[in-house]
Amino acid sequence: MIRRIAVLLVCVLVVSGLSGCGESAHTFAVQAVTAGVPSLAPFFDEKQGLGQDAEVRSMPVRGSLQQGDTPGLYGGTKKPTVCDVAKLKRFLTDPANHQKAVAWSGVPGISTDEIPAYLDRLTPVLLRHDTLVQNHDYKKGKATPYNSLLQAGIAILVDERGEPAAKCSCGNPLRPFKGDASRISVKFEDGNKKWNGYRASSVVAVRPAPQKVEGLALVDVDDPDRGIERPVGTTGKHDTAFDTRKQHAVPDLAGATFGDARRRLVSSGLAVGYGGNALPSDDAHVTATDPPAGTELRFGEYVLLSVADGTSGGSASTPPGPTSAGPTLRPPTSTAPPSTAPPPPPTSSSPPSARPSSPPPSDPPPSSGSPTTATPSVVTHSPSTSAPVTSSAPVTSAPVTSSAPVTAGASVTSGAPVTGTPTTTAET
Q: What is the pLDDT of residues 218-254, one digit of tens each?
A: 999 999 999 999 999 999 999 999 999 999 999 999 9
100-109, 114-123, 178-187, 339-348 — which is least confidently predicted?
A: 339-348
pLDDT at residue number 384: 39
Q: With 90 as the cut, is the pLDDT of residue 326 above it?
A: no
pLDDT at residue number 374: 44
pLDDT at residue number 7: 52
- Collapse the DSSP code of 65 into the 3-class scheme (helix H, G, I; strand E, B; otherwise coil) and give the result: strand
Q: With 70 as the cut, is the pLDDT of residue 194 above it?
A: yes
pLDDT grade for 357, boundaries at 50, 70 and 90 = very low
pLDDT at residue number 222: 94
404 or 13, greater pLDDT: 13
Q: With 90 as the cut, is the pLDDT of residue 404 above it?
A: no
pLDDT tens track for 82-92: 899 999 999 99
DSSP letter for 395, please. P
- Closest by CA position to 80, among listed 412, 425, 410, 414: 425
DSSP letter for 378, please. -
Over residues 360-368, the mean pLDDT reads 41
pLDDT grade for 8, boundaries at 50, 70 and 90 = low
Q: Which long-range contacts (C-beta less than 8 Å, at least 24 apart) are formed by 104-109?
A: 104/43, 104/143, 104/171, 104/173, 106/143, 107/136, 107/143, 107/145, 107/173, 107/174, 107/175, 108/165, 108/173, 108/175
- Give every CB contact of residue 396 below 8 A, 6+ residues apart in sequence: 25
> pTM score, two decimals?
0.70
Q: How many residues does the chain have?
A: 428
286's enclosing H/E stretch is strand 286-290
Q: What percent of the chain has pLDDT over 70?
A: 66
- Closest by CA position to 170, among listed 117, 233, 100, 234: 100
- Collapse the DSSP code of 230 into the 3-class scheme (helix H, G, I; strand E, B; otherwise coil) and give the result: strand
Cα 379 to Cα 269: distance, rounded to the nearest angstrom? 12
Q: Please, is 417 exposed, middle or buried when counting C-beta atoms within 10 Å of its C-beta (0-12, 13-18, 19+)?
A: middle
pLDDT at residue number 45: 85
Cα 194 to Cα 78: distance, rounded to the nearest angstrom? 29
pLDDT at residue number 47: 80
Q: With 70 as the cut, is the pLDDT of residue 105 above it?
A: yes
pLDDT tens track for 253-311: 999 999 999 999 999 999 999 987 888 999 999 999 999 999 999 999 999 999 997 54
Q: Which residues pair with 242 in a beta bridge?
A: 227, 374
Quickly list DSSP for 236-277: STT-EEEETTS-EEPP--TTSBHHHHHHHHHHTT-EEE-SSS
23 or 86, greater pLDDT: 86
* Start-end of H helices in 174-324: 258-267
Over residues 157-173, the mean pLDDT reads 97
48-57, 110-119, 260-269 — which is least confidently predicted?
A: 48-57
- Give every CB contact of residue 319 below 8 A, 6+ residues apart in sequence: 275, 306, 335
Cα 102 to Cα 84: distance, rounded to the nearest angstrom? 20
Q: With 50 as the cut, is the pLDDT of residue 2 above it?
A: yes
41-45, 158-162, 367-371 — which is least confidently predicted?
A: 367-371
pLDDT at residue number 217: 97
Q: With 50 as the cut, is the pLDDT of residue 378 above it?
A: no
Q: What percent of the chain has pLDDT over 90?
A: 58
Q: With 70 as the cut, is the pLDDT of residue 75 above it?
A: yes
Mean pLDDT of the chain: 77
Over residues 351-366, the mean pLDDT reads 40
pLDDT grade for 373, boundaries at 50, 70 and 90 = very low
The one-letter amino acid code at 342 reads: P
Cα 36 to Cα 127: distance, rounded to the nearest angstrom? 13
Strands 28-33 and 184-187: parallel
pLDDT at residue number 232: 97
